[in-house]
Amino acid sequence: MPSILGFGLGLFLCSMVLHVAIWRCFPIRNQPFRLALLFLALPAAIVLICLAAPSSWRLIPGWPWAAWGLGYLLDLSVSLSYVLLYTGLTSFSPSIAILERVEASMPQGLPREKLVPYWFTHERLAGARHDNLVGSRLVADSGAVLQLQPRGRFIARCFLIFRRFLGLPDLAQG
């Protein structure tokens, strides 16, 4: 009998293969929706179809509801971790850029004066984030003034409350 672990990881692997295939063939338009569809809704639909199918058609006959639920729960937890990390994996990171630059100059290393690469521009560091916030409708750009939209205000307040709860400084204050 296949294991719950194998089933849950198999669901995630199916979503990942589809994600990579779609990502390579089509430009990313509605990234959050696509990720939610592939990593959350598709596995749930697979589990529901398997549960609704007659027992003679099932890939894993005789599994109780709890086993199917635990398999999906494993997939859900791995998928949510991936979806939350996806933005960090695909966007520009100054720390990763520095590591890659130092790695490219190994084994002799990189002199400190060459550490700041040419691509640490305003557009790279702040521009892409600005475009992402405007595109996600978290911030509205009206000329030279940025204004929080209701969703952006909610997210900012949640993070501020959480950072204060942890005793971390307010990032907006510098």
Quick one: average pLDDT of 83-107? 74
Percentage of the chain exceeding pLDDT 90: 11
- pTM assigned to the model: 0.57
pLDDT value at position 100? 76
- Which of these, 137, 129, 99, 136, lies nearest to 117 by C-alpha position? 99
CA distance 95 to 85: 16
Q: Is the pLDDT of residue 13 over 90?
A: yes
Domain ranges for the chain, please list them: 4-90
